[in-house]
Amino acid sequence: MKTTRFVINTTRFAIKTTESSFLLAVAAAALAIFATNAYSQGPAENQAPRPVQSRTAEMLDRWNDIGNKLIAMAQDFPEDKYDFKLQKDERTFAENLLHATAFDYVVTRRASGTNIGPDFGEGDNPSRAVFKTKADVVKFVQQAVTDGASVIQQQGDAGLDKTTRWGKRLVHNSYLWMFAIEHSGEHYGQLVVYYRANNMVPPDSRR
């Protein structure tokens, strides 16, 4: 009888000891993870954030970011593939760039109230007959990004709040700029597909 009780008590002690060891191990692991996260995030979390930029600076940042991506593609893509497209009823690589750039000018002209930029005909689908070479297309894209950035900077925050007619309604110029930025982003995505279809890596993905 005493032997049986001894075995039972010993077993209970072993179980409690195992449970305690397990809980200590879990606690130690959790503490280690917390300490690691605190160490890795601590410096960044403790640093004061940089002051907010002006709305003009923020808009310029977005405008130049997508604009420079399109410029890099225009410069990088082989000229003998400029007329490449995946399906017959879509724009070629060059035509995508020309369309996105022309639309940028439509917005820049509307926001500035001027006829800034080169003559590329009516609408926002310039003919390849006007921009025959890769150099012509690259220059067009570069000029549009530069001209748009110049207008945004010159007009400042007050210019972003200015209202302009867009179709049948009035909108703030900030709306127009964001519209153009989003539009360029959509065509950037299309051009990424063209890159991948030719087993090429887009410039921005190589950084």
What's the chain's average pLDDT? 85
Residue pointed to by tokens 């497209």: 85
Rounded to two decimals, the pTM is: 0.77
Residue of 96, 92, 114, 95 lying closest to 105 (CA atoms): 114
Where do the H-state alpha helices sit in 81-172?
93-112, 134-161
Task: Find, among 118, 92, 95, 102, the residue nearest to 183 by Cα.
Answer: 102
Under DSSP, the state recorded for 86 is S
Third-level CATH fold of 55-206? Four Helix Bundle (Hemerythrin (Met), subunit A) (1.20.120)
Q: Where are the domains of the chain?
A: 1-49, 55-206
In single-letter form, the type of residue at position 206 comes to R
The pLDDT tens digits for 45-88 are: 688 888 989 999 999 999 999 999 999 999 999 999 999 999 99
| Confidence (pLDDT) at 43 | 54
Q: Is the pLDDT of residue 171 over 90?
A: yes
Do 81 and 120 meet the contact criterion of CB atoms below 8 Å apart?
no
Closest CA to 177 of 85, 106, 128, 95: 106
Q: Pull the structure tokens for residue 176.
A: 């127009």
